[in-house]
Amino acid sequence: MHNTEESNTKQQPQTTSAIQVKKHLKVTEINYRRNKESNYTEKITELEQNFDYGSHKDHYWSDPELSILYGTPLYEVASPSQKIALNHLFWVGGYNLTAASETNTVLYNQITGSVFYSIGGYETLCHELDVETSQERYHIHAFRTVANMTEIAVLGDVITGNPLTGSAFKAMQGGMIGRLSPGVMRHLFSFSWGSTPFLASQYYALRFIANMILKLTEHSRSQYFRDLEKKNEFIPAPAAISHYHFLDESFHTTTSQVIAQDLYKDFPRPTAYERFMANLAIYMMQLTILNGLSAAAVASFYPDKLFVMPLVYKMLRSPLFGMSTQEALSWIEKCFCHEHEGLHLNLKYHQQLFSSLCQFFDKLDYTWSINREMRVMAAGTSISKTIQDNTKFFDKFSKSVACI
C-alpha cells in the first residue's frame, strides 16, 4: 500500500519532467527541421558517384597524423608515397568501422523508435530517427564504395574491410555496439532496448559514445576541408565526404544527447532490472572498445591484437611495402612492442574523449560510479600495459604467421 508521503515523492519528478518535456521537444523540433533542410547526404552521394582513386591519390585526405603507423619508427623511414597511402588507409580503416557501426545504428534506431512511437507524443523524434536511418544507409554505401576502390588501388585487394572476418553479418558484429559482448548477451541487449521506454532511451547513451569516438577524428577532417576551401586548393573527395558526414552526424549527436540526457526523465524511474541492464551495457562498452590504446592508429582504443596488428601485417606483406614474412614481423615488433611518439599522441586523443564522456555521464542519474567516472576506460590507458599486452600477443601472432 502507498502512503501519502510516498505518493508525494512520486509526484515531485513529474513537475520537473513537464518542463524537460517542453525543452527537449523543442530541441528535437529544431534539429529535425534543420536536418530535413540540409543537403549534406546528397553531397556525399554525389561525391561517391564521381569518385575514382586516380584523381585523388596524390593528396593527403586529412592531417598526416591521421595515418596508420603515424609516430612509429616505420613511419619515419616510409617514402613520401607510402606515407600518403598510409593516410588513405587510415581513412579506409576508420570508415569501414564507421560503416559497420552505422549498420548497427540502422537496426537499433528502428527498434527503439518503435518503442517511442507506441507511447505517443514523440512523432517528430520518430521522424528524425527515420531520417537518420535513411542517411546512415547512404553513408554506409559511400564509405564502402570509396574504401573498397581505394584498397584495391593501394593494396591490390580488400583487406581492411574485415581483416579477421568476411561476411556482411560478421561486419555488423564488427560495429561498435556489435563489439559490446558475445552473441547471447548482445541479443539480450537488443531485446531490452526494444522492451521499455527507459531502456530504449538508454541505448542513446551508447550511441553517444560512438558519436564522440567518430568526432575525435572527424572534427579535424572537417577542419582540414575548411582550410583547403579557404585557400582555394584542390579538395580530395574523401576529405569532402568526411566534412559532410561530420555535418550530418552533428544532427545525430544532438538526437543521442537529447534522448540519453533528457527524454528518459519523461518515463517512470528505472526498475532495478532496468538500472542493471543500462549500467551493464555502458560497462561492457568500456570494457570492449575503450579499454586499450592502439600503438598504430590514433583515436583507436581497443586492443591492437583484435584489429590493427593483423591489418598492419597484411599491409606490410602487400605490394605497398612488399616485405617478406620476417621483415614484416620485425617491423611489427618495433612498432607495437616499444614506446614511441605515436603512443603518446594517442594518449592525448584518449584524454580528450575521456573528459567529454565523463562530462556526459555525470549528468545521468542512474549510473554506477564505475560508469559515471569511466573507470574502466581510465584504467585501460597505460603505455606500459599496451606494450606488455602487444608483446604477449606478438609472440603468438608471429608463430601463427610463420606456420602459414
- Interface positions with Fe ion (CB under 5 A): 102, 136, 139, 249, 252
Q: Residue 360 CB, nearest distance to Fe ion (Å)?
A: 17
- The smaller minimum CB distance to Fe ion, of residues 241 and 353, is found at 241
- The smaller minimum CB distance to Fe ion, of residues 128 and 249, is found at 249
- The smaller minimum CB distance to Fe ion, of residues 102 and 151, is found at 102
Concatenate the DSSP letters of all residues of 238-269 into one string.
HHHHHHHHHHHHHHHHHHHHHHHHTGGGGSPP
Q: Which whole-number Å values give the CA distances from 94 to 256, 354, 400, 401, in the listed order?
A: 21, 19, 26, 25
- The smaller minimum CB distance to Fe ion, of residues 94 and 342, is found at 94
CA distance 88 to 295: 18
Q: Residue 213 CB, nearest distance to Fe ion (Å)?
A: 12
- The smaller minimum CB distance to Fe ion, of residues 179 and 252, is found at 252
Q: Residue 45 CB, nearest distance to Fe ion (Å)?
A: 12
Cβ pair 232, 377 in contact under 8 A: no
Q: Residue 252 CB, nearest distance to Fe ion (Å)?
A: 4
Give the number of other Cβ atoms within 10 Å of residue 90's Cβ.
Answer: 26
Q: Which whole-number Å values give the CA distances from 257 to 132, 303, 314, 346, 359, in the listed order?
A: 14, 28, 38, 25, 12
Q: Residue 210 CB, nearest distance to Fe ion (Å)?
A: 8
CA distance 54 to 254: 37
Of 214, 221, 224, 206, which is closest to residue 97 (Cα–Cα)?
214
Give the number of other Cβ atoms within 10 Å of residue 370's Cβ.
Answer: 16
Q: Residue 140 CB, nearest distance to Fe ion (Å)?
A: 8
CA distance 29 to 130: 14
Q: Residue 167 CB, nearest distance to Fe ion (Å)?
A: 22
- The smaller minimum CB distance to Fe ion, of residues 249 and 262, is found at 249
Give the number of other Cβ atoms within 10 Å of residue 207's Cβ.
Answer: 26
> Residue 394's Cα: distance from chain center in Å?
26
- The smaller minimum CB distance to Fe ion, of residues 48 and 249, is found at 249
